[in-house]
Amino acid sequence: MTPQSNVRNISVVDAEDLPEYDLIRPLDASGIRPLARLLSRVLRDEPHFSYMVPDPRERRRILSWFFTSVAIPTSLFHGEVYTTTDLKGGVLWIRPESAGTFKRMLRTAVPAMSHVGRHMEKVSFQLARQPHWYLVSLGVEPSKNLEVTGRALLEPVLFRADVEERPCYVESFHEGNLRFYESLGFRIEGAGNISRDGPNFWAMIRAPQSAGRPPDDRIADCSIS
């Protein structure tokens, strides 16, 4: 997919309606390496990455390769990638028709991540059976306000998902991020942990905001022993 050159092209919704829309832009090929450096640095201590690759030096190496060669190029081709204009934040999405293929590819392309990837693929199949936008990664410099910058980065695809009446799916390994996602309309559909000594996770789905979905407080147990 050729990256879009203007955020106004993302959907029938006028980009001027998006909060903080002037802070973000679609990524082009020249930004792959800078964005990979950002994401591998700000996400390297995420609980699931630390669990999958305990050695810090090896984790830095794998994540740098993963974002440069796998996650960002695949998201550009099969989804949407947005960054702040100063490259202090970025988000990777996979579009609905490619979400399942991406998860299977991820599991086989990165052996160090295969155990967690295989389990999370089962969780998403259990909870999100219909086609959905898959939020691969969201990373923001600590100096940025996640509530503002993170929301601005996510808004283009959230608006598009509403227009297309598609759900969005994300897995969070940080309990502290749940409230942020909930403020955007995501709800916890499943939770568990990756083995006895592994990290906790929460699987969240955002229904199209026009869907008027009734509340449901049931949360599936998605743990793995």
**Per-residue confidence (pLDDT) for residue 12, from 0 to 100:** 31
Identify the pLDDT of residue 49. 87
Q: Is residue 86 part of a domain?
A: yes
Find the domain containing 39 and state its range: 23-221
Alpha carbons within 13 angstroms on the beta-carbon side of residue 78 total 21
**Is residue 175 domain-resident?**
yes
Q: Is residue 3 part of a domain?
A: no
Is position 15 within any domain? no
Q: Which pLDDT does position 101 carry in this prediction?
A: 73
Instruction: Give, in order, the Cα–Cα distances in Å from 76 to each of 1, 28, 68, 102, 117.
Output: 6, 8, 12, 12, 20
In a domain, 5, yes or no: no
| CA 33/CA 7 separation, integer angstroms | 21
In a domain, 65, yes or no: yes
SS3 string of 5-56? CCHHHCCCCCHHHCCCHHHEEECCHHHHHHHHHHHHHHCCCCHHHHHHCCCH
225 residues of the chain, pLDDT tens digit each: 333 233 333 333 344 444 444 489 999 999 999 999 999 999 999 888 888 889 999 999 999 999 999 999 999 999 999 999 999 999 999 999 887 777 767 666 666 566 666 666 676 666 677 899 999 999 999 988 888 999 999 999 999 999 999 999 999 988 999 999 999 999 999 888 877 777 888 989 999 987 544 445 555 555 544
- The answer to whether residue 6 is domain-embedded is no
The pLDDT value given to residue 197: 78
Total number of domains constituting the chain = 1
Which is nearest to 180 in space by CA: 210, 200, 152?
152
Give me the pLDDT at residue 110, please: 67
The CATH number given to whatever domain includes residue 99 is 3.40.630.30
CA 28: distance to chain centroid?
18
- Please give the pLDDT value at position 169: 92
Tokens of 159: 């608006």
Structure tokens at 132: 């959905």
Look at residue 100 in the predicted model and tell me its pLDDT.
72
In a domain, 17, yes or no: no
183: helix, strand or coil: helix
**Mode of pairing for the β-strands spanning 89-94 and 187-193:** unpaired
Which of 74, 89, 110, 93 minimizes the C-alpha distance to 35? 89
Question: What contacts 157, CB < 8 A, 6 or more positions away?
Answer: 10, 80, 82, 91, 93, 133, 168
